[in-house]
Amino acid sequence: MKKALAVLVAGSLTLAGLSGCSSQGTSADGKVKIEFFQYKPEAKGTFDKLIEKFEKENPKIDVVQSNPPDAETVLKTRMAKRDLPDVVAMGGNSSFSELSHAGAFEDMSKDKNLKDIKPAYVQMLKDITGLKEVYGIPYAANADAVIYNKTIFKELGLEVPKTWDEFISTAEKVKAAGKIPFYFTFKDAWTTLPSYNVLAANTEGDSFFKDLNSGSTAFKNGHKEAVEKFLTLINYGHKDQNGKAYNDGNTAFAKGDSAMYLQGIWAIPEIKKANPNIDLGVFPYPVTNTPGESKVVSGVDLLLALSSNTKHKAEAEKWINFLTSDATAKEYLKEQNAFSAKNNVTQDDPSLEGLKETFAKGAVTDFPDHYVPIAVGLEKQLQVLAMNKNADQYLKKLDTEWNKVKDRK
């Protein structure tokens, strides 16, 4: 799942000079305790296994995983109390940028693990923060893709579409056959983002956010095409798509209720839990009418950051080194259906075959929402758009909220 860690960094937060940030210390049995704070609830079980393995190899270190239900609020409160975790695993987004500027994390530009990371993902972190230093190790990457039911495609004689017109034609054919083309789950506001991110990334232009920051463009210009295409797609949804949540969608798609599911690849493990026998595949969104032109949106889903004030730096670094080893990275991506940010670690799940060519040629771009401050409320605005379908109102609201945030800086 792709939920941005919505850390609300109030005012001009300054963490430099904090003392005694980590609440962890030394346990009664003499072990050094370090806290690992991560924001992905679906990865908790995976990290539990990895922690167990790490502690067997390092019997003097006790790793305590924190994965609270409302991670952003918890982290904000702890920051106010000057009680940062030793290692933080979060997404490469605007919240990470704010924390990096605030001095929350150690500069990892010279960390040995960084040399094995694909340069594109390192650059994404620099682009997000606008800093030359790197304050986290990109760990796992995800991707927005069209998940499709191969059985339904075969039954209806459908081919994987390569252009936007073919994409809409495919949806029309599914609809004409009396089936649902796309299953939407807009009760959870964040689920508006996967499809919108791809549409925006491939139509807004390479310098959109730079131009937006300089005041030379606006959402009403750069995102107009994305909005139009987003509204086109939701016309091929189902009844009560604003009343269904993410878990509902995973189960419904697993049962064969729709031919396609506009989600991220993180949904696949959940779909397979609901139906282990489903024959599914993925393909890149064809946003334009030039075959192969559209880029896959793939950002840093998980990075590893070291607290700048940890009392147990050596132990925290050991944990990071363990996580970034090839063997551990492979285990994580296998369980979480992610792509590794490392050069020499590949994703071999057959269900993701449809994205391999795109990844191989490097035709990837970052998630646009990573550059939108939480206060703008992009996903909430999209949720309203999905209900009232008023494009002009949506774009005007985005520009208004963006300028409010900009004026406060």
Which of the two residues, 195 and 343, has the higher pLDDT score? 195
Summarize the confidence of residues 70-86 as an average pLDDT.
Answer: 78
Q: What is the pTM of this model?
A: 0.81
Query: DSSP class of residue 337?
Result: T
Domain 32-142+299-352 sits in CATH at 3.40.190.10
Number of alpha carbons in the 13 Å side-chain half-sphere of residue 234: 28
Measured CA to CA, the distance from residue 136 to residue 121 in angstroms comes to: 11
- pLDDT, tens only, 25-57: 666 678 999 999 999 888 999 999 999 999 999
Distance from the Cα of residue 304 to its chain's centroid: 14
What CA–CA distances, in Å, run from 174 to 249, 257, 313, 375?
A: 18, 12, 56, 38
Fold of domain 144-297+373-408: D-Maltodextrin-Binding Protein; domain 2 (3.40.190)
Alpha helices in 6-149 (DSSP H): 44-57, 71-80, 94-101, 119-129
- What residues does CATH 3.40.190.10 cover in the chain? 32-142+299-352, 144-297+373-408
Three-state DSSP state, 397: helix
Q: Is the CA virtual torsion 186, 71, 370, 198 positive or negative?
A: negative
CA dist., res. 348 & res. 277, Å (int): 18
Q: What backbone phi and psi angles, to 5 degrees, belong to 379? A: -65, -35
Q: What is the pLDDT of residue 359?
A: 83
Note the pLDDT tens digit of each residue in 275-326: 999 999 999 999 999 999 999 999 899 999 999 989 999 999 999 999 999 9
Average pLDDT over residues 231-241: 96
Q: For residue range 375-391, what is the model confidence (pLDDT) as tens digits?
A: 899 999 999 999 999 99
Cβ proximity of 57 and 63 under 8 Å: no
Confidence of residue 62 (pLDDT cuts 50, 70, 90): very high
What is the per-residue pLDDT for 3? 41
Q: What is the pLDDT of residue 407?
A: 79
Residue 9 confidence (pLDDT): 40
Q: What is the pLDDT of residue 26?
A: 67
What's the distance, CA 365 to chain centroid? 12
Average pLDDT, the chain: 90
User: What three-state secondary structure class fits 289?
Assistant: coil
